[in-house]
């Protein structure tokens, strides 16, 4: 899964990632810091990592796309 984690020791709870994630993965938790409420929805667009002022988010860089599109190929799952 591409979404790894929020580094709690760096996160200041500014909410930038929560505001901007296009697919609503992130929310602010009861500890005032952000967390991935819906990690499976992450599409590894890197908006959160680039917008985070504290560099507090880790997304895996290496993600093989699923390739179900060619009619002769099997419908593969992503592995990330």
Partner 1 sequence: MATREHFFETDVLVLGGGIAGLYAAIRSKSTPVDVILVDKAFPGRSGNSLYASGAICGYQPEDDDLTDYLIDDLRTCFFLDDQVQARKVIEEIYPCRKEMEDWGVDWVRDSEGKIVRKKGLGMLRSYNIHFSGGRRLMNVIRGEAIRRGTQILDRVMMTDLLLNRGEVVGAAGFHIRTGDFYCIKAKATIVATGVLDAKGGQPQWNLTGDGVAAALRLGAELRNMEQYDWTMGPAKHFDRSSGCHVLLGHGAHLVNGSQERFIHKYLDRFGYHADLGDRTPRNVFVYAIAQETAQGNGPIYIDCRHLPDDEIDSIKNSIPFLYNSWKKANLNLKKDLIEYTVLPHGSTATGGVRINEQAETTIPGLFCAGDAADRMWAGINGLTGAIVSGCWAAESAVKRAILPRNIEVDVEQVDAIKQKLYRPLLGGTLKTDDAIREVQKFLYQDIGIMRTAERLQRAVSNIQTFRSEVLPKLGASDYHDLAKALEVVNITDLIEVVALSSLFREETRYFNIREDYRGRDDEKWRKWVIAKKVGEEIELTAEQIPETFVKMDDLGL
Question: How is residue 4 written in tokens?
Answer: 């790894």
Return the residue of 22, 31, 53, 55 that touches partner 1, per CB under 8 A.
22
Element of type H or E holding 36:
strand 34-36
* Contact predicate 21/47, CB 8 Å: yes
- Of 51-70, which residues contact partner 1 (CB under 8 A)? 51, 61-70
Q: Does 46 bind partner 1 (CB under 8 A)?
A: yes
The stretch near partner 1 (CB under 8 A) out of 1-9, 28-36, 45-53 is 45-53
77 backbone φψ class: left, alpha, beta (φ>0; ψ -120 to 50): beta
Establish if 28 lies at the interface with partner 1 (CB under 8 A): no
Residues that bind partner 1 (CB under 8 A): 19-24, 27, 37-38, 40-41, 43-47, 50-51, 61-73, 75
């Amino acid at each position: 899964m591409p979404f790894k984690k929020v580094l709690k020791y760096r996160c200041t709870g500014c909410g930038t990632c929560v505001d901007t994630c296009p697919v609503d993965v992130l929310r602010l938790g009861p500890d005032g810091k952000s967390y991935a409420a819906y990690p499976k929805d992450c599409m590894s667009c890197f908006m959160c990592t680039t917008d985070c002022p504290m560099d507090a988010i880790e997304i895996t860089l290496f993600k093989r796309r699923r390739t179900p599109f060619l009619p002769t190929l099997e419908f593969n799952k992503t592995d990330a």
